Amino acid sequence: MAQKKSTAANAIFVVRIWREWSLEETRWVGRIEQLNTGAAIAFRDLAELMTFLQESGVCGEARRSPSGKDQAE
């Protein structure tokens, strides 16, 4: 049975972000976990984080602003 994708209304995430140091560079990395599904990834850049959120069904669709107008992602 296929698992239903979460929507922004019912998705709960834990995001951890930290800095990794090396002689060549310093970069921010992290881990995100969707608590209600157990899905998780480690990410090395914002693009990987955003891909996970899009695949989780919480990004990439129009949202309503507090004023009631549609906003595109």
Residue 21 to residue 36: CA distance in whole angstroms: 32
What dihedral do alpha carbons 39, 42, 45, 48 form, nearest 10°? -30
Q: Is residue 26 part of a domain?
A: yes
Is 54:48 a contact under the CB 8 Å cutoff?
Answer: no
The pLDDT of residue 57 is 86
Q: Is residue 72 part of a domain?
A: no
- Could you tell me which of 54, 28, 32 has the C-alpha nearest to residue 41? 32
The pLDDT of residue 51 is 93
Q: Is residue 34 part of a domain?
A: yes
The pLDDT of residue 1 is 43
Residue 34 to residue 41: CA distance in whole angstroms: 9
Q: Which domain holds residue 28?
A: 13-59
Q: Is residue 55 part of a domain?
A: yes
Q: Is residue 50 part of a domain?
A: yes
Q: Is residue 4 part of a domain?
A: no
Per-residue pLDDT of the chain (73 residues; tens, 9 = 90+): 445 554 556 789 999 999 999 898 888 899 999 999 999 999 999 899 999 999 988 876 545 445 555 555 4
The pLDDT of residue 73 is 45
What is the number of domains present in the chain? Answer: 1
